[in-house]
Amino acid sequence: MASRLSDGGLPPMYDETVGIQREGTSSKKTTLVVLCILFVELCERLTFYGLTANLVFYCRDVLKLSSPLPSTVALAFQGTCFFTPVIGGWLADTVTGRYNVIYGSSLLYIVGTALLTATTYNYPTAYALSIPVKGAFLAVSLILIAIATGGIKANVSPLGADQVKDEGQEMVQKFFDWFYWFIQVGSLIAFTAVVYVQQQVSFFYGYLLTALSMILATLLLLFGRNHYIVHSPKGSFLTDTLRIIGVGIKNKLRCKSYHIQSHWLDGAKDDMGGHFSEEVVEAVKSLVRLVPIFLTFIFYWTIFGQGLTTYLLQGSYMKLEITDKFTFPAASLSVFENASLLLLIPLIDRVVYPGLRRLGFNFTPLRRIGVGLIFAAGSVALAGIIEIVRKRYGRVKQNVFNTTIDASTMSVFYQVPQYILQGVSEALVSVTGLEFAYSQSPPELRGVVMGLCLAMIGLGYYVASLLASIVKHASHSKWYPDDLNKGTLECYLFLLAGLMLVNLAVFLYLALRYHYVADDPDSPEDYKHVKRKRSYKSVNSSSFSDISQNDLDTR
C-alpha cells in the first residue's frame, strides 16, 4: 500500500494495497513535503544547468580540445541524460521504488559534482593535474551525473504528484504548474549567477556552487522522508513492450506468419502461440504506429542542440562587454529562450489557439509541430546570417575563460532573435509533441511513450554530435573551424536549415497520412477520424507510466 517512510529507514518493498494515503495527514504536512520535493527539483536543475551551460568552454579552454570535440562532449552528455531516465523509471517500477531511486541518485550526483569541482581547483604547481588527468576525471564525473540525473528526472515529479493525488486532479495540475515554475527558477539561477561566476571568477567556484546545490537538494529530500507517501514497486510495462516487439521481430526474420495474422506483432498474442493477451499486444501496436512521427523529432533535437554548442561558440566571438566592469556571459543568452517559452505557452494556450478555433481553424497537434519545425529551421538560418554579418564588423580583443579571442565588435545581443525563434519552436514542437504522444497512446503505455520521447531527444543530440564531426572532416575544418574568424561556420548552419526542411517534408508526408485516435466523443473533429478499438484492462499506473508531460524538461 501507499505508506509513509518509517523512522527505521527505507520504505517496505511490498505492501498489501497501493495508492491509499494514510488517513489523518494534515494539510500542513502535505504542503511541507511538496515544498521539499519542489526545492529538490529546483536545486537539481540548478546543478544540472550550471554543469552544462559552459561545458563547451571548459572542454575548449581548459582541456584544450579542438573543435568539434567540445561540442561532441556536451552533446553526448546531454543525449545520455535523456536515455537514463528510461532506466531510472524502470528501476523504480520494478525493484526499489521512487524514493529509493531518487535518494541513491542524489548521492551519486554529489559524488559526480564533488569530483568535477575538485578537478577544477587550481592546485599548487607541484600537485597540479595534467590535462589528460583532468579529462579522465571529467569523463567519470559526467558518467556519474548522467546516471544520477536519470534516476531523479524519471521519479521526482511522480513522487510529488503522489502527495496530492488524493486531493483531486486540480491539485495534481497545480503541483505540476508549480513544478515547471521551479524548474525555470533553477534554470534562471544557473544561466545567470552560476555561469557568471564560472566566466568571471573561475570554473572551480562555479562548479562548487552546483555541488553545494546538490547537497542542499539531498538534505531537503531527507527532511521530508518520514512523511512522504510512497508506493511499492510492481512492475513496468516497458519490459512487456520490449518482449512483444522482440517476438514480432523474431517472427518477421523467420518469415513466420499465420493465415489470420494482419500485423507483424500479432504473433505475440496468446491465441496465436505467443504469451501475451490480445489487449496488451493491441496497446503495443498503437504505440508502434507513432514511431514514424517520433523519428522526425530526432532532427529537431539536432537543431535544438546548436543552442547548447554552436550558438555559444558564436557568442564568444561577439562583443560580450557591456561596461568596463561587466562582461555578459555568453551562456546567459539562454535566458531569452526560457523567457520566450514561459511567455508564449500561456499566450498560445489562452489566446492563439482559442482565437483560431473561433475562426473555424483547428490547429491540431501535428499542424502545430509542423509550424514549430519551420521556426527551428529559421533559428539556425538566422544564426548563419548573423555569422556572415559578424565577420564584417571590426575586431576587439576579448578574454573568455582566460582565453584571448579576436572577437567581433558586433554585440552578442544580436543573437537574441535566434534564441527566441528556438524558444517558439520548443513551445510548438516539444510541448505539443508530448501532448500528441500522450493523447494518442493507451493509458497503460503512456510511461513507455514518454520514455520514447526522451529517447528521441537523446538521439537528436547524438546525431548533432556525429554530424559536427562529419562536417568537420568533410570540409577540412572550414565549416566547423577552431577559430570562427578563419572558417565558414555559416555554411554548417545553412546545411542544418536545409536538412530541417527535408525533415519537414518527411514529417508533412507522414502527418497527412496519419489518422488521429480518440476515446472521447467530445474530441475535436480532426480527432474523430478513427476511434481506438480496444478494450484494455483498467490498471493502476506505475511510476514509470505516470511520468508527467511537464516533467519532460528538454534542456
pLDDT in the model for residue 241: 80
Average pLDDT over residues 395-423: 90
Closest to 116 measured CA to CA, from 212, 233, 20, 27: 212
Average pLDDT over residues 185-199: 92
- Given a cut of 60, whether residue 303 has pLDDT beyond it is yes
* Least confident window among 244-253, 298-307, 313-322, 512-521: 512-521
pLDDT in the model for residue 256: 61
32, three cell numbers:
511541507
- Matching CATH topology for 26-232 and 277-517? yes
Closest to 53 measured CA to CA, from 283, 254, 333, 246: 333
- Given a cut of 70, whether residue 521 has pLDDT beyond it is no
Average pLDDT over residues 393-398: 90
* Least confident window among 170-184, 211-225, 505-519: 170-184
pLDDT tens sequence across 6-15: 444 444 444 4
* Least confident window among 100-104, 227-231, 464-468: 227-231
Closest to 348 measured CA to CA, from 331, 368, 328, 367: 368
Give the amino acid at 22: R
pLDDT in the model for residue 554: 60
Where do the domains of the chain lie? 26-232, 236-269, 277-517
CATH code of the domain occupying 26-232? 1.20.1250.20
Average pLDDT over residues 409-433: 91
pLDDT in the model for residue 270: 66
125 contacts: CB under 8 Å, gap ≥ 6: none
pLDDT in the model for residue 549: 43
Percent of the chain having pLDDT more than 70?
85
Structure confidence at residue 544 as a pLDDT band (50, 70, 90): very low
Percent of the chain having pLDDT more than 90?
45
Give me the DSSP letters along 309-349: THHHHHHHTSB-EEETTEE--GGGGHHHHHHHHHHHHHHII
- Given a cut of 80, whether residue 388 has pLDDT beyond it is yes
Average pLDDT over residues 280-295: 84
pLDDT in the model for residue 528: 41
391, three cell numbers:
565577420
- Given a cut of 60, whether residue 547 has pLDDT beyond it is no
Contact between 415 and 528 (Cβ < 8 Å)? no
What are the φ and ψ backbone dihedral angles of 123, each rounded to 5 degrees?
-70, 155
pLDDT in the model for residue 87: 87
Q: What is the mean pLDDT of the chain?
A: 83
Structure confidence at residue 260 as a pLDDT band (50, 70, 90): low
The reported pTM is 0.81
* 4: β partners: 229
Average pLDDT over residues 492-520: 89
Structure confidence at residue 527 as a pLDDT band (50, 70, 90): very low
pLDDT in the model for residue 2: 53
| Cα(454)–Cα(433) distance, integer angstroms | 11
Higher-pLDDT residue of 502, 518: 502
* Least confident window among 84-93, 312-321, 517-526: 517-526
Strands 530-531 and 517-518: parallel
- Given a cut of 70, whether residue 538 has pLDDT beyond it is no
Average pLDDT over residues 520-533: 41
How many C-beta neighbours within 10 Å does residue 222 have? 14
* Least confident window among 147-151, 276-280, 378-382: 276-280
Structure confidence at residue 203 as a pLDDT band (50, 70, 90): very high
pLDDT in the model for residue 492: 96
Within 361-401, residue ranges assigned H as helices are 365-390
pLDDT in the model for residue 9: 45
pLDDT tens sequence across 464-505: 999 999 999 999 999 999 899 999 999 999 999 999 999 999
Higher-pLDDT residue of 528, 249: 249
Closest to 44 measured CA to CA, from 81, 19, 87: 81
| Cα(519)–Cα(210) distance, integer angstroms | 45
Structure confidence at residue 536 as a pLDDT band (50, 70, 90): very low
| Cα(12)–Cα(1) distance, integer angstroms | 10
pLDDT in the model for residue 436: 84
Angle ∠(123,125,127) on CA atoms, nearest 5: 60
- Given a cut of 70, whether residue 523 has pLDDT beyond it is no
pLDDT tens sequence across 210-225: 999 999 999 999 998 8
CATH code of the domain occupying 277-517? 1.20.1250.20
